Structure 1
Amino acid sequence: MDKLSQRISEIGIVPVIKLTDPERDAVKLAQALCAGDVPVAEVTFRASGAERAIRLMKEARPDMIVGAGTVTSTEQIDAALNAGGQFIVTPGFDPELVEYAQKNGVPIYPGCTTPTDYHAALKFGLELIKFFPAEQSGGLPKIKAMSAPFPQFKVMPTGGISIGNLREYISCPVIAACGGSYMVTGELVEGQRWEEITELCRLSREIVKSARSEG
C-alpha cells in the first residue's frame, strides 16, 4: 500500500463525517478526533460545504489525514483536492472516478462488495478497497469469503460498524481499517459533545490496539 493508506491502516478506524455547519464544527471536531488519537477523517459530500470542512480541518490540524467520502463525480474530486483532501472514497466502483483519481495521484477507495467489483479493482491495481455497506452486504463472513479468490486486497468495511462489533472486524487480518460514524453522529456533533467524541475515539483506538496485539 502507499504511505497514506498504510498510515490509515495503522490508525485502524476512520470517522465518516457529515457536517451541516462546517464553520461552526469543523475545527472543533478535528481537535476532538486528534485528542482521541484518531487523526483521520472522511468528510462526506452528502452535505453541502464538504470541501469547506476539509479545508478548515486541514488548516487547523495539518498533521491530520483528511479525505472526501460519498464522492460521485470528477468535479467533487477536484473540489476535495483543491481543499487539501488527501484521499477519495466512493460508494460504488466507478471506473471513470478511479482513473481520474489515479491520474491526479490521489488514493481512491471505491465501494466493492461483489466479485465483479473486486475484478474491476484488480485491473486498476488497487490494494485497499471499501466494502460498503458492510453489514447489509454480508459483513465479515462475506469479506472473508471474498478474500479467498482475491488475497491481493486489504478491505475497509463501512456501514453498520459500531463500538460493539469493531473488535470482531479489526481482528480479521484482511481488514486494514474500519469506517464508522458512531463516534461522530449527527446528535453528538450538533450537540457540540466534543468530549464524548474524543472518548469514543480513544475507546476505538484501544480496541484496535488490543485486537491487533492479540492477533
Structure 2
Amino acid sequence: MKTILEIMRTSAVIPVIAIEDIDHAVPLARALVAGGIRVLEVTLRTRHGLAAIRAMAEQVPEAIVGVGTLTAPEEFKAARDAGAVFGVSPGLTAALIEAARSSGLPLLPGVMTPSEVMVAREAGFRQLKLFPAVPAGGVGMLNALAGPLADVMFCPTGGISLATAPQFLACKNVACVGGSWLTPADALQSGDWARITALATAASALRNS
C-alpha cells in the first residue's frame, strides 16, 4: 500500500470529485487518467460516493482512488471495502484518528490553523490538507508554517484554480494541490470527456512548470 506522501507526489493536482450520476464515474476516471491525473478523490457529498469509488477501483486499475469528505468513523471501513486506498477529511477529531488507525486507511486530514497542524502532528500525521486553503491564508500561510513546522507537507485545497495552482506548488512544503476545476459540472453533464482529459493534461504539466 502506498503512503500518503507517495500518493501526494504522484499527481500535481488531486481532483475533488462529486458524482451526481453514477454512470459518469468510470468515463470520468478514464478521462482523468488519460490526461495524466491518476490520484482521484471521490467525495461522500453525494449518495453515489461509495458506488463511484467501487466502480472506479474495479474498472480503472490505473487510478489511485481515494475517498473524500470523511467526517464519521464508520465511513472509513465502508470506503476501504469499496476500494478506496486513501482517505481525506476536512478536519481532524479524536474519533477520526482512531478510525484511521483501526481501519488502516491512510488519511490526509484537513487543518486550517497552526494549532490544528500541531495537534495533527502530535497524532502522527506529517502530511496534511490545508483547508480551506485560500480563506486560511493561502500561500502566505503555507510559507509561514514552513518555518516552525518544517517537517509537515501540505495539499492545499479550497479556492485554488489552474491559474493560481503554480503559486501553491512553488511552496517548499506543498506536495500537490486539490481542486474541483478538473471536473466542471457542465462537462460531466454533457459527457465531454475530451475536455476533462484536456484539463487533466494541463494540470499534469504543472508538475514540471
SS for the counterpart of 1:140 is helix
User: In structure 2, what is the equivalent of residue 10 of structure 1?
Assistant: 10
Give the CA deviation at 1:82.
0.8
Give the CA deviation at 1:185.
2.1
Give the CA deviation at 1:76.
1.4
Once the two structures are superposed, what CA deviation does each residue of 1:79-129 show, in whole Å capped at 9, x if it has no partner? 111100011111112221122112222211111111221111111111110
The Cα RMSD (Å) is 1.2
- Runs of 4+ with >2 A deviation: 2-5
User: In structure 1, what is the equivalent of residue 93 of structure 2?
Assistant: 94
Give the CA deviation at 1:4.
4.8
> 1: CA distance between counterparts of 2:60 and 2:170?
29
Contact persistence 1:102–1:108 (CA under 8 A):
no
Give the CA deviation at 1:152.
1.4
Contact persistence 1:161–1:180 (CA under 8 A):
yes
User: In structure 2, what is the equivalent of residue 213 of structure 1?
Assistant: none
How many pairs align?
Answer: 208
Give the CA deviation at 1:201.
0.7
Structure 2 letter corresponding to 1:39:
R
Structure 2 letter corresponding to 1:156:
C
Structure 2 letter corresponding to 1:77:
F
Contact persistence 2:10–2:38 (CA under 8 A):
no
Once the two structures are superposed, what CA deviation does each residue of 1:183-214 show, in whole Å capped at 9, x if it has no partner? 1122221221111110011011112222xxxx
Structure 2 letter corresponding to 1:206:
A
Contact persistence 2:41–2:67 (CA under 8 A):
yes
Scaled by the length of structure 2, what TM-score is found?
Answer: 0.95
> 2: CA distance between counterparts of 1:37 and 1:169?
20
Scaled by the length of structure 1, what TM-score is found?
Answer: 0.93
User: Kindly tell me: are residues 130 and 100 of structure 1, through their superposed partners in 2, closer, same or farther at Cα, counting changes over 3 Å?
Assistant: same
Matched, 1:202 2:201: yes
Contact persistence 2:76–2:105 (CA under 8 A):
no
> 2: CA distance between counterparts of 1:71 and 1:49?
14
Unaligned runs of 5+ in 2: none
User: In structure 2, what is the equivalent of residue 28 of structure 1?
Assistant: 27
Give the CA deviation at 1:65.
0.6
SS for the counterpart of 1:10 is coil
Give the CA deviation at 1:3.
3.6
1:1-215 matched pairs, under 5 angstroms: 3-22=3-22, 24-210=23-209
> 2: CA distance between counterparts of 1:99 and 1:147?
27
